[in-house]
Amino acid sequence: MRRIPSPRSGRALAAAAAGLITAGVFAAPAAGATPAPPTVTDHVLFSFAGKPCAGPLFGVIAGPGGVLYGTTAFDLGADGGCVFSLTPGRSGYTQRVLFRFAGPAGLKPEGLVADARGDLFGNTITGGTDNEGVVFELVPGGSGSYTERILHNFTGGTDGSQPAAGPPVLDAHGDLFGVTQFGGTGGQGVVYEMQRTAAGYAEKVLHTFASNGGLPQAGLTIASNGTLFGTLYGFGQQNPDGTVFRIQPGVSGAVYTPLYNFKGGTDGAFPIGALTVDNRTGVIYGTTEYGGNGNGTVFSLTPHGSGYTEHVVHALEASGVEGFAMEGQLLLTPQGDLFGTATLGGIKCSGIGCGTLFELTPNGASFTFRLVHQFTGPPDGADPEWSGLIPGPGGTLLGTTRSGGTARACSDGGPGGVQGCGTVFQLTP
């Protein structure tokens, strides 16, 4: 089960011993439509200094004027994590801390989604009145300040406990959808909906996972028709190598359908990142943490009759030079390319590797794999944990690394003990 990251111990993955980030209604900055991006050094747009915020996870989303928004795992004061913005200027990006989490406000935010008004939504893995996590909204004020509204405090009962990695997703009506790792009548987590009402938001449980299969570790993906897709990691349950599932909300109730059960071999094992859906074809893309050659797979599920056919798009090679521990959501471009990150692997970082960024280009019925970047640690980033990617100006890609950067104040370490408080990076494929 997923650990809450510690600012002292770094990331402890079992692997170390051996898509499309939901951007809400905010549009990615178009080339020429916003100020030219500042000159960057070693692909780093911004290095966190650790005061007060450090350890960005889950990538960033882009708002008007090229402003970037994201969350950090740590707040070196209250240590509950932060929501930040980065505003581009002629001499670089200026950071602004929009909100610092502590106690009843929630702890450890897990990415953001935005609506058309500029309100920011997310969830925290713990904190709140029952320390089981919250769903929150940050409302901008006239002076540029943000005010938090708690939309739901999870209690650990039938409503769920500890939202899974990644922000909730928004539908066209402004309702929010997400999953929890625990809670529900079976104790294995729930799929929830936060319904907008005249009085605010009210939680509705769409599905409760039974004791023989549940404990989701990644957030949901929403298709253009409102269908929800998600994954179960496995954890030795009825389908021990993981499952891809579908939730179809409806007036008479939500319908849960398992679409594919992994076998733990060449097809992959333990899906941990959020899925990516091609709304034109209905094909689903995702990643597994293990299986394939041992370091995980990028897979596709293609609609076929009443079901789906699984295909391994690429299996990361066994040495780890291509990366391993793919946790971030894949980015699917209009041309059909897939971009993703691997938290570990590649080069440096005490032999574990500082992580990689890769591209998969369609080539007939298959895909061609290419390494875009191998992170190297300070002053470059390291450990792009849970980081999906978004398109940036001029065909670039934007994401986050938990560690690395120019500042050395943080002792988080990340995998392999690499120093640095984390970065927001920009890379040209």
Confidence (pLDDT) at 12: 29
Residue 149's φ and ψ, nearest 5 degrees, are -115, 125
pLDDT in tens, 117-164: 999 999 999 999 999 999 999 999 877 789 999 999 999 999 999 998
3 pLDDT more than 50: no
Contact 244, 234 (CB under 8 A): no
pLDDT in tens, 279-296: 999 999 999 999 999 999
Contact 331, 397 (CB under 8 A): yes
Confidence (pLDDT) at 144: 76
Confidence (pLDDT) at 414: 61
Residue 103's φ and ψ, nearest 5 degrees, are 55, -120
Average pLDDT, the chain: 87
Confidence (pLDDT) at 418: 80
**Residue type, position 181, single letter:** Q
- What is the CA 399 to chain-centroid distance, rounded? 10
391 pLDDT more than 90: yes
Torsion of CA 291, 168, 400, 402, to 10 degrees: -70
pLDDT in tens, 6-46: 332 333 222 322 322 233 344 333 333 334 444 444 589 99
Q: What is the DSSP string of 275-317?
A: PEE-TTT--EEEEEEE-TTTT-EEEEEEEETTEEEEEEEEE--
Contact 283, 302 (CB under 8 A): yes
Q: If DSSP states are collapsed to H, E and C, what string results for 361-396?
A: EEECCEEEEEEEEECCCCCCEECCCCCCCEECHHHC
Percentage of the residues of the chain whose pLDDT score is greater than 70 = 87
For residue 243, give the 3-state DSSP assignment: strand
Confidence (pLDDT) at 212: 65
Confidence (pLDDT) at 29: 37
Number of CB atoms found within 10 A of residue 244's CB: 22
Confidence (pLDDT) at 287: 98
Confidence (pLDDT) at 119: 96
pLDDT in tens, 58-82: 999 999 999 999 999 988 777 789 9
